[in-house]
Amino acid sequence: MTTKIIMDTDPGIDDAAAISVAINNPEIELELITTVAGNVTVDKTTKNAMKLVKFFNADIPVAGGAEQPLIKPFEDAARVHGESGMPGYDFGVEPTDIPVNNAVDVLYHTIMANDEPIVLVPTGSYTNIAVLLTEHPDVKTKIEKIVAMGGAIGTGNMTSAAEFNVFTDPHAAEILYKSGIPVVMVGLDVTMKALLTQSTLDTVKSLGKAGEMLGAIFNHYYEGNEGGIPMHDVNTLAYLLKPEMYKTIPYWIDVVTEGPANGETVADIRGAYHDGKTNAEVCVDIDADAFNAWFIEEVKKMNA
């Protein structure tokens, strides 16, 4: 059995690793990649997605999406991911025929054309997803679940309260969590524990052309610490493929859309404000050693 997914993403270094896993794991059928402004501008994130598809000789369509959040001014993360979003490796000739601003239409038609419900995996801001759900509410019955990287019920990484993807477009995140579609929140509570250790990074670099590519871009990732580098977006794929590595708790998640806590994801941990209802399965812990071992095995499967 394979799981059909669509990735909505903003590569980005950890997004690149997640896309690489999705393209090469035989248990995943990646139907489409849509892109959004996030880590860098949408023209760059789209180019980066196209570079990865070409690198792996994959037959996967790429559609460019939202250039700006729904309401909030755009603020990128080039300080973390570099000006191009994926520095450090020469992918060859730059893509020139960049598909722009058709992601929502392509998302809708791809999802509706599938016989079975599909899994959405957003690893950037949720702007494209929010527009899709708002303009085409009939699509909801064809989405099995949304496994979304973003949010935190603990400390943020853009403010003390807010994680980057949700902070980038909190109004889109609010739409996602109010959609009624099952959501798995893969946030900083686990991704800041899922650190690739130096030993893992050294091993990855030795694993063929794909390992060389990933190792080169990881070297330009300005989010490391003494324990290693976080692979935020890869955790969405890890959860889909190895959910036993994660501890989850069902919560109702509200999103703050104004004020100093803008972008915060607030978990109703007491079940006090929504009549005990929940709208998300929230990842709260991970077996970090198992994650490192799993990631090495995933890179071994990559036949660039």
Catalytic positions, please?
232
Do the strands 229-230 and 280-286 form a parallel or antiparallel pair, or are they unpaired? unpaired
Do the strands 28-35 and 62-64 form a parallel or antiparallel pair, or are they unpaired? parallel
Return the structure tokens found at 265: 């994801």
Residues 6 or more apart whose CB falls under 8 angstroms from that of 113 comprise none
Sign of the alpha-carbon torsion through 249, 154, 243, 112:
positive
Give CA–CA dist 239/194, Å, rounded: 12
Give CA–CA dist 63/107, Å, rounded: 9
Half-sphere exposure of residue 282, counting CA atoms within 13 Å on the CB side? Answer: 23
- Rounded to 5 degrees, what are φ and ψ at 87? -75, 165
Contact 87, 63 (CB under 8 A): no
Do the strands 195-196 and 229-230 form a parallel or antiparallel pair, or are they unpaired? antiparallel
Instruction: Measure CA of the first residue to CA of the last residue in the chain; give whole Å.
Output: 24
